[in-house]
Amino acid sequence: MLVLQVVGQAAGGVLRHLRQLVDGLEDHRFIVAGPAAVVQSFERLPNVLGVWPLPTGGGLNPVGDWRARQRLRLALDASGAPGIDLVHVHGWRAGAAAVDEVCRHAPVVWTVHTQPPEGAVARWRIGRVLGRLGPAPVQMIAVSRSLAAEVERAWPKGGARVWAVRNGLSPQDLEALAKLTRSGRERVRQHWARRGLGAPAAARAPERSWNPRADLPAPAVELPFPVPVLGFMGRIWGPKGIFDAVETLAALVRAGWPAVLEVAGEGPDEAAARRLARQQGVGERVAFLGWRQPSEFLSRIDLLLHPSRSEGGVPYTVMEAMAAGVPVVASRLPPLDEVVAEWDERSGRSAALGAPGGEFRATETGLLSLARPGDPADLARATAACLNDPEATARRAQAARRYVRLHLGSEATLDLTDRIYRVALAGPGAESEAPTGFLKPDPGLAGSGARGYNLRQTQNVREDGDQYPS
């Protein structure tokens, strides 16, 4: 099967997912179309027959989208489109610009990786595209059940059939992370201790109580003790939670924790994050390391912070930390809640989602510690609870490691994607060939009013150039 992969301004998880498909679906051949900076990395892959650079622009750029659409039309016409068996489009913006065009040439699969755009114009545009589809429905893949439900809720009469297929880690990644040693962690602690960053000057006498200044549990052991090394890994960008991570560290330090924060990644908000750290009085406790291999970085830290404001699926960063046995404190977002609830159901546990009376509090679960999105104090409470109970935290991390190996491998992602490709090729009458497996289409999707999450906390942010601004 010859598949045309169409992608917009992709980075991070979207680009990684696309690379997994091109590498892992060995029975297919691919052409990759998208911005020149994105597609050039695919040129030398054995399954790729060619790349089509498309002109695009950042943000809401109707002219750039129109130019990309025209270039795609010319490329399809010139290539002899009958040779292309299927088109797989990635992202909201690329889909809005290209789906109704490529539908004229071949069956379409459309994967969405992030929450739907909030802007009225963007939603109208996507609804218009879905409403103009022909008799063969687009097969739309959402990277979590909660995202699939949100898509159906936003466009209940759209001409797409929605599937939920999670991303996963490759066998090579899982093997490397399973062998991860934590020897580097002690060296990192010694490095910070040599800089005189054991107990912070603001530390008060430790006791098992609440710090009235920060509403955080104080350290439950005598000071001095090993420096807790927190980590942030990913794009250094406000919506990914870098500012919340810095403020979480500051709250912990004010409560008496001798913690430090190491940041692995690059992004547009690094300078602003450095300024915030200085303003919060923790500038010397934050280290920006640049890009690091996940296995190298995860061997350095005690706990990963992932305070992202919005996610469509389970982030690769969280999956990698879970696979490495590194505890995670993250924002309570629908895809992570979904995984936690699934683990609770499989293990016979019931997750406590809130305190009596509806008051929201950080909740420790069997896999992850989750807190209110955009609330550094809540994140700091969850972090302090993990550090104060290392035995329970270690058990949670080991359960997470087992869960990832069993349920978040890329083999299932590739298998289900391949089956959806074949459903798309077979046409509207192929209901009996619908893919089955761990993640199945929700019976309530595709127009019958699926129940899903209320994404009140989701902000209208642009994920790696993939969503529309307001």
The number of angstroms, rounded, from the C-alpha of 77 to the middle of its chain's C-alpha atoms is: 36
What is the predicted pLDDT for the residue at 129? 84
3-state DSSP call for residue 207?
coil
CA distance 422 to 172: 27
3-state DSSP call for residue 48?
strand
Contact 384, 343 (CB under 8 A): no
Digit-by-digit pLDDT tens for the chain (470 residues) are 999 999 887 778 899 999 999 999 999 999 998 888 888 889 889 999 989 888 765 555 666 666 777 777 777 766 555 588 999 999 888 888 778 778 778 888 999 999 998 888 888 888 888 877 766 678 999 999 999 999 999 988 777 889 999 999 999 999 999 888 877 788 888 888 888 776 554 443 333 333 434 456 666 654 444 789 999 999 999 999 999 999 999 999 999 999 999 999 999 999 999 999 999 999 999 999 999 999 999 999 999 999 999 999 999 999 999 999 999 999 999 999 999 888 877 765 544 433 333 333 344 456 889 999 999 999 999 999 999 998 899 999 999 999 999 999 999 999 999 999 999 998 766 554 445 443 443 433 333 333 332 222 333 333 333 333 32
H/E element, 376: helix 376-388
Contact 91, 8 (CB under 8 A): yes
CA distance 442 to 261: 40
Give Cα separations from 379 to 119, 248, 252, 455 (angstroms). Answer: 29, 6, 10, 19
**456 secondary structure, DSSP code:** T
CA distance 178 to 180: 5
CA distance 169 to 396: 20
What is the predicted pLDDT for the residue at 266? 95
What is the predicted pLDDT for the residue at 343? 82
| Residue entry with tokens 């019976």 | 443
- List the beta bridge partners of residue 33: 6, 52
**115 secondary structure, DSSP code:** P
CA distance 454 to 318: 22
The pTM (predicted TM-score) of the whole model is: 0.82
Spatial CA neighbour of 8 closest among 42, 47, 29, 38: 38
Query: Mutual orientation of helices 92-102 and 62-79 as an angle, nearest 10°?
Result: 40
CA distance 40 to 203: 52
Which amino acid is present at 94? A
Q: Rg (Cα) of the chain, in Å, rounded?
A: 23
What is the predicted pLDDT for the residue at 109? 93
Sorted by where each starts, the structural domains of the chain and their CATH numbers stand as 2-168+409-433 (3.40.50.2000), 171-407 (3.40.50.2000)
What is the predicted pLDDT for the residue at 453? 27
- Residue 211's φ and ψ, nearest 5 degrees, are -80, 115
